[in-house]
Structure 1
Amino acid sequence: MTGSRAETAYARAITAFSTPTLDLLHGRFAPFVVASLTLLFNADRASVAVADAHAELAEVLDELRAAGYDEDDRRLPSGSGRDVCRNWVRLGWLIQQIDDDIEVYRLSAHAVAALEISGRTGGGRTRVSNSRVRTLLDAVEHLSVSAEVDPVRRLSRLQAERDVIDAEIARIQDSGRAEPADDEELLEEAENVLHLARELPADFTRVAESLRAMQRDVVAHLRRDERPTSEVLREYLQRAQDVMQSTPEGRAFAGALRLIGDPERIDALTEQLRGLLDQPFARMLDGTQRAELDAIARRMELGVEEVLAAQRRASHVITGQVKTHDPLRDRQIDDLLRDVIAGLHGWSGPAAVVDPVRSMPLADLGHLRQTTSDIRPPRAPAPLTDADDVDFLDHDTRAWGGPRYAELEEYVAGLGAQFDLAEAFRAVPDAARRPVDLLGLLEIAHRNGLTDGDGISTVEALRPDGTTRRFAFGAVIARSTKEDADE
C-alpha cells in the first residue's frame, strides 16, 4: 500500500515537473529566463514586437556577459537574442503571433505562472497572516451560505451579519470617529491583495490559450473535411461556451468581465487603490509592491482585453476559413508544405550538399505569332485647323497663351532691313510685350537671320496680370525678312 501511494505521488511529481512552468524554474538558465522575461513584459506591456524583443534580449545578454556572469558555470545561454527567443517559443514559454499585421511575442500561461511563483517566493515574506486566514474563512463562509438550502439557517446567518454591521454603525455614530486597523494589520491585508492579484494574469492567459487551441482544432477539422462544416462550427460554439462556464479560468474571466463592464465599478476600484497608496501604512511597502498595487485595475483590463482579442481572432480566422474553404486546394497546399518541410529536413544535416541554382528555368511560351497587323492608320489624319479659325474661350485665356506670331511678324516687317532686337521689343505694344512674346520675337529673328552684337541687352517684359520681369541676353542684330537674309 505504501509503495502504491509512493508511486502515485512520484508519478504526480514527474507530471508536474514535465510542465513548462516547472521546467522554466528548474532549468539550467532559470535565473536568466525569469529576469529577462520580467524585463521584457509587464502589466502595461503584454506583447513585444519580435524585432524589439530580439534587440532588447541581446542587450541583456551583452550586459550580463560584460559583468562576468558567463565566466564560471555557464549561467547564460549561448547564441543571439533571436536564437534564445526562438528556443523559448519551442519550449512553450513564449507565444508568437500576429497582432495588427505585426509579429509579436506574448508570455504563455506557463511563463506567467512561473513568474508569479518566482515573484511570490523572492518578493518578501510568506506568512500565515490574519488577512490570509480571514480570506479563507470568508470564502468558506460564503460557500456555505451559497450552498445552504434551509431557509431558517440562511436567515439566521444573514441576521447575524446584519447585527454585526448595525453594531459597527452604532459605535461610529456614538464616538464620531472610525478607528482604522493598525499599520501592521493593514500591511498584511495589502500583501494578501497582491497575492490574489498575481494569480489573475495566468488565468486570463490560460483562457486565451484555450481559445487559440480551439481555433487550431476547428481549422484542422475544416481542412481535413471529415465532417460537415455546420457540425464543426456547432462543436466550436459549444466548446467556447464551456470554457467560460466549466473551468476556473473561464469563471474568473466571466467575473472580471462583469467588473470591467461596469465603468463606475472599475473607476471606484482605481480610486480605492490610489487612496490606499496615500495611507501611512503604504510606506511600509517596497517600490515593487506599490507598483503592483497601483496596477491591479490595469492588469485586470489587460487580461480581459487579451481574452477578447483571442476570441475575436479565433472568430475571424474561422470565418475566413469557412468562406474560402476549398478541400482540393487545401490538400494541395498541405502536400506542398509537406514536400517543402521534407526538403528542408534533407538540407539540415551537417554533411548535406545543396546544389546551387545556377540559372532560372525558362518559361515554355509555345508558338508565337510570326505576323502582325498593319500598324499604319487606315487614312491620313485631318489637317490642322488654321489659327485664324480658332475661337478662344475668352480674352483672358488668349492673354496667357503662346506668342502672338501674326502681330509680331507684321511689326517686324515695318522695322527696316535690320534692327536691334532689344529696342524693337521695348517698342512692342503692351499686349505683345509678354515673356512668351520675347521668345517669339527671338524665333522670328533666328528664322530671318541674325548676328551677335556687342554688349548685353536688357528688356522688361509685361505679364497679363500687370507684373513685370527683366531679362538679359547678348545683343542681337536681326533682319526683318528672310529675303533680305538671302541677298
Structure 2
Amino acid sequence: MLALLHQTHAPFVVTALAMVFTAERPSVAVADAHAEIDDALQQLRAAGYGEDDNQPLPAGNARDLCRQWVQAGWLVRHVSDGDVEMYRLSAHGVGALEVAGRVGGVRTRVSESRVRTLLQAIERLAQDADPDVMSRISRLHEEILQRQRELARLERGGEVETVPDEQLLEAAENVLHLARELPADFARVAESIKAVQRDVVAELRHDVRPTGEVLREYLERGKQILDATPEGRAFAGALRLIGDPAQIHNLWSQLRTVLRHKFTELLSDQQRRELADISRRVEQGVKEVLAAQRQASHVITTQVRNHDPLRDRQVDELLRNVMSELHEWVPASRRGEPVEPLRRLPVADIGHLRQRTSELRPPQPPAPLREWEETEDVTTADTRAWGGPRYAELEEHLVTFAGGEGSVDVVAAFRAADEDLRRPVDLLGLLEIAHDAGMTETDEVTTVDTVRPDGTRRRFALGGVVAANPADRNGER
C-alpha cells in the first residue's frame, strides 16, 4: 500500500483505480478495464499531461500497466463463474484508495461522537473481561432502572430530547469514518483465506504421510479454513452480528431513517451516497469473504481427491532428473547433431499389485426357505383386509347410493360406506370406478377420513368429484 502511495505516478494510479473499481462494481472484466484505462490515458496525454514534468504519466498502454499492478500486488486477476477473466482490487489497493479518500475528503475531528464510541468500546471490553457475577447483576439492575425512569417520563407526556444538528453531523461523519475501513478489512480476510489455500495445497504436494491420513487432515482443514487465520477468526465473530439477513435489513432501515432527517442536508452528496451504501457494502463484503471460503474449500477438496502425494512427488523427481540431464547434454552437443527421441518416460517400479480385493472366504448362498406344509393354518382374512380395493363391492355401493340419479357425489358416497369399505385403498378404487364411468372435478376441496384394517385413521384432502352413475354405463337403466 505504501509503495503505491509513494511512487511517482501515484496520482494517476489512485485516480485510475478509483475510477474503474467502485462500490457498485468491485470486479471488472479485463477487457473493460484495459479499455477504460486506455481511454483515460489518451485524454490526459491529449490535454498535455505527462509532458515537461506536468503531472508525469506512466509509459506503456493499459495492458502493460495492469500487468505491473498485478505484480505489485495492487490488483488481483481471477476467473469469474462465467469463465471471464476479471480484475479486482487487492487489500493493499483498497487500503490505498481509502487512505487517499480520507486525505482528500472531510478531515475527522475529535468530537463527542468519536469519544463516545471509544468510551463505549472500552466499557464493553471491561464488562466482557470482568467475570464477577455480582458486578454484572448490579450493572443490569442500574440499566433497567434507567430505562424504566425514561419510559415513565415519556408516558407522563415528557418530550423526546432533541439532538442538535451539529452533533448529529459529527456522529454521521464518525459513522462514515468507521465504514470506510470495512472494504479493506473484508479484502484482507478474503486474501488471508486464499493464502491459507495456497499453503495447504503446497503442503499437500510435499506431504510424505499415508494418503488416508492426508485425506482426513486436509479435508478437515478445508472445512475449517475460516478459522485458520486471525483475520478469519475475527470475521467469524463479526459474522454472528452482520450475517443475519434480518440484521442487514434493520441496518438498511436505520440508514433510511437517518437520511430522511434534515441534518443530512449539511452533508455533501458523496457523504450521503456513502451513508446510503453502508448496508450494501457490508453485505457485499460478507458475500466476498464467504465466496473466498467456498472456493478455498473446493480447491483443497479437489486437490486432495484428484492428486496422490506419492505420485506427484515421483513426477517432480522425474522432471528434475530430465532437466538435470538436459543441462548436462546441451553444453556438449553440436548444432545439427541428431537426437534420439525418448519414446516414453520410465515408470516407477511399484512391485506386485493385489489382483483381488474381495473377501477371502468364498461367498455363501442364502439359507434355504422353510418348507411350507399344506396342513398349516393360514389366516386369509387379515391378508385380504390389507389387500387392494374391493372393486365389486365399491361399484355396487356407488350404484345403490346414487339410486335413480344420473350422477353421484363420490366423496359423499365414500363417507356413507361401511367401515370395511372406507380403507385408503378403497378411496383410490372408488376414484378409479368414477373415472371409468366418467367424472367431473369441481373447485371444492374436501377431506375424508379413512379407516385402516388395524383401526387407525388417516385423513386425506382431495378435490370434489361428481361421477356418472355406473348403472348407466352397464345398461341397467
* Common topology (TM > 0.5): yes
Matched, 1:93 2:74: yes
State the shift of 1:282 in Å.
0.8
Choose from 195, 217, 226 the match for 1:234: 217
Alpha-carbon distance in 1 for matches of 2:122, 2:196: 34
Q: What's 1:220 paired with?
A: 202
Distance between the aligned counterparts of 1:154 and 1:329, measured in 2? 58
State the match for 1:132 in structure 2. Answer: 114
> Partner of 2:457 in structure 1?
none
Report the residue type matching 2:11 in the other structure.
P
Residue in structure 2 matched with residue 174 of structure 1 by the alignment:
156
Distance in 2 (CA, whole Å) between partners of 1:93 and 1:315 is 25
Q: Deviations over 1:439-473 (max 9, x none)?
A: xxxxxxxxxxxxxxxxxxxxxxxxxxxxxxxxxxx
**2:12 counterpart of 1:29:** no
Equivalent-residue separation in structure 2 for 1:337 and 1:125 (angstroms): 58
Gap change, CA 1:277 and 1:242, over 3 Å in 2: same
Deviations 1:228-273 (A, max 9, x none): 45347626745974754862x3355224433444222211211111
Runs of at least 5 residues in structure 2 that lack an aligned partner in the other structure:
327-334, 336-340, 344-477
Determine the C-alpha separation between the residues in 2 that align with 1:263 and 1:120. 30
**Contact conserved, 1:218 with 1:232, CA < 8 A, in 2?**
no
Q: How far off its partner does 1:191 sit? A: 0.9
- Quote how far apart the aligned CAs of 1:328 are: 3.9
Amino acid paired to 2:263: F
Question: Do the aligned partners of residues 308 and 339 (structure 1) sit closer, same or farther apart at CA in structure 2, a change above 3 Å counting?
Answer: farther
Asked if residue 79 in structure 1 is aligned to residue 60 in structure 2, the reply is: yes
Question: Number of matched residues?
Answer: 325
TM-score relative to the length of structure 2: 0.62
Shift of 1:292: 1.0
Q: Is the aligned partner of 1:43 residue 2:23? A: yes
Distance in 2 separating the partners of 1:202 and 1:243: 17
Quick one: which amino acid aligns to residue 217 of structure 2? R
Equivalences for residues 301-312 of structure 1 within 5 A: 301-312=283-294
Q: Deviations over 1:57-113 (max 9, x none)?
A: 111212222222212325211111111111011111111111211111111111111
Q: How far apart are the structure 1 equivalents of 2:132 and 2:147?
A: 23
Q: Deviations over 1:258-311 (max 9, x none)?
A: 344422221121111112111101111111111111111111111111111111
Structure 2 letter corresponding to 1:155: I
Provide the rounded CA distance (Å) in 1 between the counterparts of 2:5 and 2:305. Answer: 44
Aligned pair in 2 of structure 1 residues 54, 76: CA closer, same or farther (>3 Å)? Answer: same
Deviations 1:296-330 (A, max 9, x none): 11111111111111111112222222222145467
In structure 2, give the amino acid aligned to 1:84. Answer: L
- Change over 3 Å in CA distance of 1:131–1:98 after alignment to 2: same
Match of 1:67 in 2: 47
Mark the CA change 1:308 to 1:242 in structure 2 (over 3 Å): closer, same or farther.
closer
Q: Which letter does structure 1 place at the counterpart of 2:8?
A: R
Matches within 5 A, 1:72-471: 72-73=52-53, 75-100=56-81, 101-229=83-211, 230-231=213-214, 234=217, 237-238=220-221, 241=224, 243-244=226-227, 247=230, 249-326=231-308, 327-328=310-311, 332=315
Q: Which amino acid aligns with 1:36?
A: A
Contact 2:222 2:297 in 1 (8 A): no
Would the alpha carbon gap of residues 300 and 286 (structure 1) be closer, same or farther in structure 2, given more than 3 Å must change? same
CA contact (8 A) 2:192 2:232 kept: no
Quick one: distance in 1 between partners of 2:58 and 2:273? 30
Deviation at 1:337, TM superposition (A): 11
CA RMSD of superposed structures (Å): 3.1
Kept after mapping to 1: 8 A contact 2:29/2:86: yes
Distance 1:321 1:170, change over 3 A: same
SS in 2 for 1:96: strand
Q: Distance in 1 between matches of 2:205 and 2:109?
A: 53
Secondary structure of residue in 1 paired with 2:77: strand
CA contact (8 A) 1:256 1:304 kept: no
- Counterpart Cα distance in 2 of 1:287 and 1:274: 15
CA displacement, residues 31-64 of structure 1 (integer Å, 9 cap, x when unaligned): 1121111111122212111111111111121222
In the alignment, the residues of structure 1 paired with residue 134 and residue 319 of structure 2 have an alpha-carbon distance, to the nearest angstrom, of 71
**Is the alpha carbon distance of 1:313 and 1:334 closer, same or farther for their aligned partners in structure 2, counting shifts above 3 Å?**
farther
Shift of 1:183: 0.8
Distance (Å, rounded) in 1 between the aligned partners of 2:260 and 2:318:
64
CA displacement, residues 365-413 of structure 1 (integer Å, 9 cap, x when unaligned): xxxxxxxxxxxxxxxxxxxxxxxxxxxxxxxxxxxxxxxxxxxxxxxxx
Indicate how the Cα distance of structure 1 residues 288 and 141 shifts in structure 2: closer, same or farther if over 3 A, else same.
same
Matches of 1:47 and 1:125, distance apart in 2: 29
Partner Cα separation in structure 2 for residue 75 and residue 32 of structure 1: 9
Contact 2:225 2:297 in 1 (8 A): no
Establish whether residue 54 from structure 1 lines up as the match of residue 34 from structure 2: yes
One-letter amino acid matched to 2:26: A
**Matches of 1:323 and 1:97, distance apart in 2:** 23
Q: Does the residue aligned with 2:203 lie in a helix, a strand or coil? A: helix
- Aligned residue type for 1:153: S
Q: In 1, distance between residues paired with 2:46 and 2:210?
A: 60
